[in-house]
Amino acid sequence: MDKDIRRRLGWIQVFERAGDNYSCACLRCGVSRPTLRKWISRYREQGVEGLASKSRRPHRAASPKISEQAKVWIVELRKRRLGSRRIQSELKRSHGFEVSRPTIEKVLKGLAPRSPLGRALPRKGKKRYAKEIPGERVQLDTCQIGPKLYQYTAVDDCTRIRVLALFPRRTAANSLRFLELMTEEFPFPIQPRFNAYRLIVAASSSPIASKRSLWPTGSSSAQ
């Protein structure tokens, strides 16, 4: 006798000894009430044979949702670089054949890995901005990293030296303080044509009189 049948037969025997008490039998056997009811019902209807596990495999295989002819139509339309929505419309218009988009996409997945619309675009190499002279160009950025906490960042395009600072607010005054800190921390002078005007405008909605007051055009470095 199969071990599963013996175990289920033992549940039924415990149930009968407990005076047909489902709660008591379930506690002793460690099974749920619906499970115990199911096997007791099968045992009473079919005997010991009813305690055998039954296959859950469907008796009939599902018929294919799409014919071979329809697959040929889908492949031909795919060669015209059409997506599933356009293929669905063309099948209905040209052949009077209606099919869902998931079914079309399932057929397309079975095609060659490199279908006309599935080609991966060549990845372009990373283009890093670089200057030959330190301080010739500096990238600036501000971002909020927490409640009432803003990070100011400055990166030199030649040496990749970075200067960071934290401020409780993003204002024009704090932007000016960061610019002063940046010029002090960088071990080289900032070129006079460096434009800090955009950073301050982005940092505050207050108007800035002129960028000339920030970086004198006649100075040799922004200090």
Q: Does residue 17 fall inside a structural domain?
A: yes
- Phi, psi (deg, nearest 5) at residue 192: -65, -25
pLDDT at position 120 is: 58
Q: Closest Cα to residue 92, out of 107, 74, 75, 72? A: 74
Q: Does residue 175 fall inside a structural domain?
A: yes
Query: What is the model's pTM?
Result: 0.35
Q: Closest Cα to residue 174, out of 142, 145, 221, 147? A: 142
Q: Does residue 116 fall inside a structural domain?
A: no
Claim to verify: residue 83 and residue 36 sit in the same structural domain? no
pLDDT digits 0-9 by tens, 3-49: 888 888 888 889 888 888 888 888 888 889 899 899 889 888 888 88
Claim to verify: residue 172 and residue 206 sit in the same structural domain? yes
pLDDT digits 0-9 by tens, 50-76: 888 877 777 666 656 678 888 899 989
Q: Considering only residues 209 and 23, tell me which one the structure prediction assigns the higher pLDDT.
A: 23
- Whether 115 has a pLDDT exceeding 80, the answer reads no
Claim to verify: residue 37 and residue 89 sit in the same structural domain? no
pLDDT at position 223 is: 35
Sign of CA dihedral 75, 81, 83, 88: negative
Claim to verify: residue 145 and residue 175 sit in the same structural domain? yes
Q: How many CB atoms lie within 10 A of CB 30?
A: 7
Q: pLDDT band at 152, cuts 50/70/90?
A: very high
Q: Does residue 221 fall inside a structural domain?
A: no
pLDDT at position 205 is: 42
Q: Does residue 97 fall inside a structural domain?
A: yes
Claim to verify: residue 194 and residue 157 sit in the same structural domain? yes
Q: Does residue 15 fall inside a structural domain?
A: yes
Query: What is the domain extent for residue 77?
Result: 68-109
Q: Does residue 202 fall inside a structural domain?
A: yes
Split into its structural domains, the chain has a count of 3
Contact 152, 142 (CB under 8 A): yes
Q: Does residue 57 fall inside a structural domain?
A: no
Claim to verify: residue 38 and residue 77 sit in the same structural domain? no
Contact 25, 15 (CB under 8 A): yes
Report the amino acid identity of residue 164. L
